Structure 1
Amino acid sequence: MTILPPRVLRALERFNATYPWDHNAHYHRWILRQVPGRFDRALDIGSGSGDLARLLAGRATAVHGVDADAGITAQARRLTPPELDVTYTVADASAGLPAGTYDVITCVAALHHLPCTEALTRFRRHLAPGGTLIVVGLCRAHTLVDHLLGTVAIPANAATGWLKNKGRPSPRPVSMTAPVRPAEMTFDEIARTAGEILPGARLRRRLFWRYTLVWHRP
């Protein structure tokens, strides 16, 4: 639902294509503020081209990135300097996660591709005592608050793209190899599920069609 007419939406789509930016990477600095200054092992689920995994490697002894897309995982390996202890695995996280426990588990724009209950249960199982789970996810707009945030995000999205590109059009379109899947669960449904599996988890609606979840395992 939007209050903007189709003609305005089409113009915004053209503007956003000219000044693209990464909505998920926008939250990487926020993610780093949620984790300790130093920790042992980290797991990044839906690691994509490895941007977050490489940032975590500045804090962690070792980082393991998991993504179902072989092409983008190959790109992550090429972009990761050999001096960083980052391992990438091509795998479907719904089928399981790398063995062991992790002090930090991150999952950015990937949870809506997985069965929510099973995924959160698996994340809890692989999180070490005292560890931190951080999710930046997508949910289906349902309430008035959701739609209002979505409407506010439209001009904010255009302004942020223009600023991040320093007012210069992108020389080439941004392409994605990973499949795009719309979110099916609402924020309230995700919050109820998380409350059952991760008692005390903190969830917040965010701008740019995202929500965040932070849980510290006792």
Structure 2
Amino acid sequence: MTTLPLRVLGALDRFNAAHPWDHNAHYHRWILRRLPRRFGRALDVGCGTGDLARLLAARADEVQAVDSDPAIVARAREATPATAPVTFTVADASTGTPAGPYDVITCVAVLHHLPFTEALTHLRRQLAPGGTLLVVGCARAQTIGDHLLAAVAAPLNAAIGWWRSRGRTVPRPPSMTAVTRPPELGFPEIVREARAVLPGARLRRRLFWRYTLVWRAEG
């Protein structure tokens, strides 16, 4: 009884490896829908190859984008037009971000690499009055709800990968090649610790092994 699910999971893993897509980029539109059409300064934490930073630059007067990986930052700079109001910096996301305040701070699939409470505290201090912090994060599966959501996400993930690749085997996108580590905190722990730092923060479990956090600083 236990070998069939393992075989199914193995088949899904092999299929997903042949038809990969960027789960983080999937939530970029979710982020943009929660932001005004124009704003002043933005900070993108863990910018990777700069896809989200470039989207923010279409609305912001200035975007500071940071990542701890020099090679990825170099790729981001190469892919960004010189006229775009984006500055890419190699920095520690939890302490070394360029000085705020910022009207918008985004953080996608980064917090599980950092001391969670310390990183959120740092970002809160960088946010301008009335500013918005948007997080797309990764949590460790712990509860029955987590495992049920993962069970729904697995075949849907394969279907989207197949549709995006039109059935062809494709190489893994460069933005997905950075070394990652599994999250240590489960979603209930994340909610508890986040709300201790960011009172009133709104958090939700999401598909594709992600959660979201929205917090607006008092104006």
1:44 and 2:44 correspond: yes
Normalised by the length of structure 2, the TM-score is 0.95
**How far did 1:6 drift?**
2.1
Q: 1:35-76: per-residue Cα shift (whole Å, max 9, x none)? A: 111000000000000000000001100101000011111000
Name the count of aligned residue pairs. 216
Question: Hey, what's the Cα distance between the residues in 2 that align with 1:79 and 1:174?
Answer: 14
Q: In 2 relative to 1, CA 205–116 (structure 1 residues): closer, same or farther, beyond 3 Å?
A: same
- The SS at the match of 1:41 is strand
Matched-pair contact (CA < 8 Å) for 2:103–2:131 = yes
Matched-pair contact (CA < 8 Å) for 1:72–1:177 = no
Question: Hey, what's the Cα distance between the residues in 2 that align with 1:3 and 1:112?
Answer: 31
- Which residue does the alignment assign to 1:15? 15
- Which residue does the alignment assign to 1:153? 153
- Which residue does the alignment assign to 1:31? 31
1:49-198 aligned within 5 A: 49-170=49-170, 172-175=171-174, 176-198=176-198
- The SS at the match of 1:94 is coil
What percentage of aligned pairs have identical amino acids? 66
Matched-pair contact (CA < 8 Å) for 2:44–2:64 = yes
Amino acid at match of 1:93: A
Question: Hey, what's the Cα distance between the residues in 2 that align with 1:45 and 1:127?
Answer: 13
Matched-pair contact (CA < 8 Å) for 2:22–2:173 = no
Q: 1:109-157: per-residue Cα shift (whole Å, max 9, x none)? A: 0001111111111111000001000000000111110010011111011
**How far did 1:165 drift?**
1.6
In structure 1, list runs of 5 or more residues that go unmatched: none
Question: Hey, what's the Cα distance between the residues in 1 that align with 2:3 and 2:106?
Answer: 34
Which shows bigger deviation, 175-184 or 151-160?
175-184
Question: Hey, what's the Cα distance between the residues in 2 that align with 1:44 and 1:68?
Answer: 12
In structure 2, list runs of 5 or more residues that go unmatched: none
**How far did 1:93 drift?**
1.4
Moved over 4 A (4+): none
Amino acid at match of 2:155: P
- The SS at the match of 1:5 is helix
Matched-pair contact (CA < 8 Å) for 2:68–2:90 = yes
Matched-pair contact (CA < 8 Å) for 1:134–1:215 = yes
1:210 and 2:187 correspond: no
Question: Hey, what's the Cα distance between the residues in 1 that align with 2:122 and 2:102?
Answer: 12
**How far did 1:83 drift?**
1.2
Matched-pair contact (CA < 8 Å) for 1:108–1:135 = yes
Matched-pair contact (CA < 8 Å) for 1:71–1:177 = no
Question: Hey, what's the Cα distance between the residues in 1 that align with 2:18 and 2:199?
Answer: 43
Please tell me the root mean square deviation across aligned C-alpha atoms, in Å.
Answer: 1.5
